[in-house]
């Protein structure tokens, strides 16, 4: 036997050396035909004459099963490469039968038959596997249960109720493993840190026709929150304590930790939070340690821009993130455009639940510049309480406002004390690139002559906008608004409380606030009623670029009936990192509409 083995090895080596010699002769002949620059090395010349390995799998229509078979197959890794070692390739061919059979087992097929075929020629070796999966393993029995303190814990109960494998189903190990991972996730998230699987098994029958599943999980004791330690030195400790929604001794939940982290980041104070929630297994408690790194205390922001409604514009914002150790904050703004100039300040005081509630004091000044129809100088001061519940923000406030205005033939210097209520619902997946979002707002305010006001009025305004990306290439947008003011003498109503519409964000094809009733001089003086509607369709020809078509309609008026103004057009929209940049060209079909009007807007849509 040893002599035979040695002889076969020698013959193999000899055959290899003859092959090499033949390759060298071929290379020499090639030298006579090709230029020196085109010559191949001996190794490259040999490899160029080796057959290429092709591998295909028939009989697997399920894409996931086919991909799994390809990952199991060692020979598949050699696909489309030269066959340099034929015996090794033949070894991989034979091994592939068992590898494909193994790849089918996670999908419940344990009786898979695999036929292999190898067809060779000088140019390629074609390997073909033909797969017959056979009958799958069917779940015949299922016993899944929880034991211990958490056996009635709702998330665990839901996992059992929604167990992905039922009697009569094909056994799929992926679903079996996913369930176990889901159990571990719930256990860690809800404080069952000592939980363990006391039984996890799949018993397959001898004929590979049926399987019994048995899973038992002992939850152990649920941990509770321990003491919370917050390491920081720039605010009073009480400020951060009010952000907490849990107390020592309460049942542990990672959701509460995540909410605390989110609220602290949203506070505006914090740059970085390092959280440690390592369980104390001896005492069954979870102490919470937070190390907070603050942002810079003061922030200055400058911006230049242009809008078709405003012309050239500039803005400066100052953010004093904490004025004192009580967490009070201060913001100011200065905005100047070709149309108007305004400045304002807001002083914010955190309430008992600072993540959602605060008190605000504010003051604003605004002056209209270079307007043919409107001259206005306005200032106000006031205060408000603001709270947030989920996506709903409520604001209850009061402000004293004075406006010196000229609007067509109307003029006055009117003071008003106006209590107001503003409700805003906002839900969006991404404020800078909204694919699914809704914003709705309702504001009601009033004033009375007997309460420090020159005019009595009651006003209500409701607006909404909905955006929905239907698929990769189609998006729709719909918007609407309606408003009504009740007052004794419309002509005494300050310009700030009159309804005007038209422009980039209401009815395109018309100038900014150009739609409204006119007086005897033909000047636009607005109305005590308003409505508008808008529908837009976008087609994305690239991921961040779209073409748009839109129709807008509405009116602002004081008469009994509206005179519908309609605008329509086309646009190009680019979704940049700072928000959508929209270039729209519109036509206004009614007076005072333009034949062609350009609208340019930049920034968030909701």
Number of Cβ within 10 Å of residue 579's Cβ equals: 16
Q: What digits encode the pLDDT tens for the residues 314-351?
A: 999 999 999 999 999 999 999 998 888 999 999 999 99
**Pick from 162-166, 266-270, 334-338, 602-606: least confident:** 602-606
Q: Where, residue-wise, is CATH 3.10.20.310 in the chain?
A: 2-132, 138-218, 224-294
Mean pLDDT, rounded, for 110-137: 95
d(CA 442, CA 450): 26
CATH superfamily of 138-218: membrane protein fhac (3.10.20.310)
371-602 sits in which CATH class?
mainly beta
224-294: which CATH topology?
Ubiquitin-like (UB roll) (3.10.20)
**E strand residue ranges, 338-409:** 340-350, 357-368, 374-389, 392-407
Residue 213 in this model has a pLDDT that exceeds 80: yes
Average pLDDT, the chain: 89
In this structure, are residues 40 and 48 in contact, taking their beta carbons and an 8 Å threshold? yes
β-partners of residue 215 are 144, 200
2-132: which CATH topology?
Ubiquitin-like (UB roll) (3.10.20)
In this structure, are residues 445 and 469 in contact, taking their beta carbons and an 8 Å threshold? no
Length of the chain: 606
Residue 532 in this model has a pLDDT that exceeds 80: yes
pLDDT tier, 598 (very low <50, low <70, confident <90, very high otherwise): very high
Q: What digits encode the pLDDT tens for the residues 17-39?
A: 323 333 333 333 333 333 333 44
Which residue from 194, 62, 43, 200 is spatially nearest to 136, judged by alpha carbons? 62
**Per-residue pLDDT, 49:** 82
pLDDT tier, 522 (very low <50, low <70, confident <90, very high otherwise): confident
Q: Where, residue-wise, is CATH 2.40.160.50 in the chain?
A: 371-602
Query: Would you state the structure tokens that stand for residue 553, as one six-digit string?
Result: 């309609």
């Amino acid at each position: 036997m040893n002599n035979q083995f040695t002889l076969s090895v020698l013959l193999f080596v000899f055959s290899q050396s003859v092959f090499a010699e033949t390759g060298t002769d071929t290379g020499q002949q090639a030298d006579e035909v090709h230029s020196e620059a085109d010559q191949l090395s001996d190794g490259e010349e040999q490899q160029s004459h080796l057959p290429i390995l092709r591998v295909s799998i028939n009989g697997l229509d399920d894409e996931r099963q086919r991909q799994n078979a390809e990952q199991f197959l060692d020979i598949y890794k050699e696909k489309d490469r030269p066959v340099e070692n034929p015996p090794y390739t033949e070894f991989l061919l034979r091994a592939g039968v068992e590898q494909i059979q193994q790849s089918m087992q996670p999908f419940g097929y344990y009786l898979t038959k695999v036929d292999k075929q190898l067809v060779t020629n000088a140019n390629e070796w074609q390997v073909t596997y033909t797969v017959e999966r056979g009958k799958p393993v069917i779940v015949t029995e299922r016993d899944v249960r929880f034991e211990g303190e958490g056996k009635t814990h709702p998330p665990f109960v839901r996992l059992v109720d929604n167990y992905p494998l039922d009697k009569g189903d094909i056994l799929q190990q992926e679903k079996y493993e996913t369930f176990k991972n889901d159990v571990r996730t719930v256990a860690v998230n809800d404080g069952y840190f000592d939980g363990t699987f006391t039984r996890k098994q799949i018993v397959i029958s001898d004929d590979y026709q049926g399987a019994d599943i048995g899973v038992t999980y002992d939850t152990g004791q649920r941990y509770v929150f321990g003491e919370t330690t917050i390491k920081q030195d720039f605010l009073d400790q009480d400020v951060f304590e009010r952000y907490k929604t849990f107390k020592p001794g309460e049942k542990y939940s990672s959701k509460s930790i995540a909410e605390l982290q989110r609220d602290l980041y949203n506070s505006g104070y914090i740059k970085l939070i390092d959280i440690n929630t390592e369980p104390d297994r001896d005492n069954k408690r979870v102490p919470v340690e937070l190390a907070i790194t603050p942002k810079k205390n003061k922030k200055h922001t400058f911006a230049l821009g242009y809008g078709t409604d405003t012309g050239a514009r500039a803005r400066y914002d100052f953010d004093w993130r904490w004025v004192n150790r009580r967490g009070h904050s201060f913001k100011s703004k200065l905005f100047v455009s070709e149309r108007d100039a305004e400045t304002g300040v807001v002083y914010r005081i955190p309430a008992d639940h600072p993540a959602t509630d605060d008190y605000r004091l504010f003051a604003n000044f605004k002056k209209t510049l270079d307007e043919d129809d409107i001259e206005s100088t306005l200032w106000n001061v006031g205060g408000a309480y603001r709270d947030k519940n989920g996506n709903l923000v409520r604001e209850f406030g009061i402000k004293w406002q004075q406006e010196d205005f000229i609007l067509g033939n109307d003029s006055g210097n009117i003071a008003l004390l106006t209590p107001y209520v503003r409700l805003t619902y906002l839900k969006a997946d991404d404020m800078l690139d909204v694919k699914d979002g809704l914003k709705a707002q309702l504001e009601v305010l009033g004033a009375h002559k007997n309460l420090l006001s020159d005019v009595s009025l009651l006003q209500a305004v409701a607006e909404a906008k909905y955006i929905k990306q239907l698929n990769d290439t189609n998006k729709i947008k719909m918007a609407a608004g309606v408003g009504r003011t009740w007052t004794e003498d419309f002509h005494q109503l300050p310009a700030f409380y009159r309804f005007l519409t038209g422009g980039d964000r209401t009815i395109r094809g018309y100038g900014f606030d150009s739609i409204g009733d006119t007086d005897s001089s033909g000047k636009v003086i607005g109305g005590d009623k308003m409505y508008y509607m808008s529908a837009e369709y976008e087609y994305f020809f690239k991921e961040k670029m779209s073409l748009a078509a839109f129709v807008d309609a509405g009116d602002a008026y004081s008469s009994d009936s509206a005179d519908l103004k309609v605008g329509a057009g086309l646009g190009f929209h680019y979704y940049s990192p700072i928000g959508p940049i929209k270039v729209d060209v519109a036509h206004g079909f009614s007076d005072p509409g333009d034949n062609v009007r350009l609208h340019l807007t930049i920034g968030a849509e909701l």
